[in-house]
Amino acid sequence: MPRLSPEQVAQFEEQGYLVVEQLFDPVADLDPIIEEYKGVLERLAHDLYEKGEITSLYNELPFGERLIRIYQESGKVHAQYFDFSLPQGNVKFDTPMWVGRAVFSAMSNPRLLDAVESIIGPEIYSNPVQHVRIKPPEHLTPRDENGNLQLGATPWHQDNGVVLPEADETDMLTVWFPLLDAPVEAGPLQVIPYSHRDGLRTHCPGGVGGLAIPDQLLEMDQAIPVPLKRGDVLFLTKRTCHSSLSNVSDNIRWSFDLRYNPIGQATGRGAFPGFVARSHAHPETELHDADAWADLWRATRKRMAEENSNERFNRWDSRALVCA
């Protein structure tokens, strides 16, 4: 795929977001990820079955229905099992994560990197602020002891706001794309165009959804949903205010969100490993080995477990007046 046009880059810089349709080939690029995750779900099902937390493997069901039934019967959302990042605290030697080859291939996809290069330049670092989100319909999602959804809509935030201040000058780019079609009812992202122009806003910690910008600091009347087809990609600046809508459909909403920044700039989450995805200046530094990438994450998990690490991951204080 050719790099982004000057008009696309100008739109991104002006409005703070850009949708590129069919950047990925749904069959060649996305289906291998889906197939890989079927194996992850299979392992989760067997683990829970052996512990007596579910009474069936539900292996006759398609992926989305199977995940929903397993979450419902176990009474728990097992999101960490699928994620290709670690939690921000209480990491154990056996904390689950998935760092598979198809995931790495998506991060290193040449067409994706061509588009990223159009925005941040040719020296591209894969920033470790990255996640898979597999969200069941909210009416079928388990709740905690307080009656709150264990996994629901993501609150309003800026990606600059969920990393440390060391990355405030980093040219961080967010890449969000669905593995399945994400119509409005499935709970895709919503954005506030032009919101990146007003700098970093205060985020309040706490609550089920984590960090959130208070409504009074947002231009809520300007928010627009961004439904996507599988193969489409949404690009965001690090200061574009965005959230997700609730999944009110009958199927899962399945998406990746990735970050990239120029090589040498702070990632804002230095405890986690990134890698050189593309370098015109030093191509020998590029990482093309999916197993080596997975080893970086396993080594990080081991280090954090050994150190009983509870490193600081954000700057915010709930005592801020706007958070009261």
Task: Tell me the pLDDT of the chain averaged across its residues.
Answer: 96
Instruction: Give me the mean pLDDT over the 237-262 stretch.
Output: 98
Least confident piece of the model among 23-37, 214-228, 298-312: 298-312
Instruction: Give me the mean pLDDT over the 240-265 stretch.
Output: 98
pLDDT band at 1 (very low <50, low <70, confident <90, very high): very low
Give dist(CA 171, CA 242) in Å, integer: 18
Give dist(CA 148, CA 207) in Å, integer: 10
Is the distance from CB of 251 to CB of 186 less than 8 angstroms?
yes
pLDDT > 90 in the chain, percent: 92
pLDDT, residue 40, reads: 98
Instruction: Give me the mean pLDDT over the 178-186 stretch.
Output: 98
**Model confidence pLDDT, tens digit, residues 75-120:** 999 999 999 999 998 999 999 999 999 999 999 999 999 999 999 9
Radius of gyration of the chain (CA): 19
pLDDT, residue 320, reads: 83
Strands 233-237 and 275-278: unpaired
pLDDT, residue 210, reads: 82
Is the distance from CB of 243 to CB of 233 less than 8 angstroms?
no
User: Is 36 buried (19+), middle (13-18) or exposed (0-12) by CB count in 10 A?
Assistant: middle
Give dist(CA 134, CA 140) in Å, integer: 13
Identify the structural domains of the chain with CATH numbers, from first to last.
6-25+84-323 (2.60.120.620)
- Tokens encoding 10: 């100008």
- Report the candidate in 311, 253, 295 with the shortest Cα–Cα distance to residue 104: 295
pLDDT at 19 over 80: yes
Give dist(CA 272, CA 297) in Å, integer: 7
- Tokens encoding 117: 């290069």
Give dist(CA 120, CA 299) in Å, integer: 29
DSSP H helical ranges for the chain: 6-15, 31-50, 63-74, 101-107, 110-120, 290-306
**Tokens 């709970």 map to which residue?**
187
Give dist(CA 217, CA 182) in Å, integer: 28
